[in-house]
Structure 1
Amino acid sequence: MYKIQKKKAVKKKKNEHNRKRDIIVNFRMSPMERAELDERVRLSGRKKQDYMIQSSLYQKLVVVGDQRMFLSLQESLTEIEKELKRVVSADSVDMEKIAALRTVAEIIHGLCV
């Protein structure tokens, strides 16, 4: 008789900063765009997921202004202004508001350049 080998439990790797990534983001591309993206990912030596996150969050932002974008900026700045008025010390700052402020600043910088 043969003995059935028990599979060892594979320990999951912790991602950087011990984050849980459970959100899925999808978008459409042409076959040529897909081939170029795959080539860039291959050349970077990163996983596609890590490449896409880094590219999305840390690359130069190019902005084309329109009415909807300006209204969105105005709403974001109003929320940030409320948060800054509420803050008494640096420890009580909401980090999401800081990230939003950074994004708004990048957009405004992109419009001015």
Structure 2
Amino acid sequence: MEKNRDKKGRWRNLYVGFRMSPEESKALNIRVKLSGLTKQDYIIKCLSGPSIEVTGNPRVYKALRDQMAQIYDELKRICDGDEMTEEQLFTLQLIAQTLQGLKGEQ
């Protein structure tokens, strides 16, 4: 029986599970979508280094487009007198950082 190995020849046979609140899970899923990585790769990279490098691809573009559409809807709502939530501000900041990284800005 041949073992499944990753691209670097490592045999990954251990599972790690943990609990999250619905808000934490949503924030993690947004970060994963905007990174263009799988959830496993994203979490491993977060644990391995100080920052995540995003490579532009169609999946990242679609995630950015979808998040920007949601933010646009929220901004229209805010113009009517409501306020942005902390979660929405966080997502907007994350999108801005991702777009700056894709453009090569600091």
* Rg larger in structure: 1
What TM-score do you get using the length of structure 2 for normalisation? 0.49
What TM-score do you get using the length of structure 1 for normalisation? 0.46
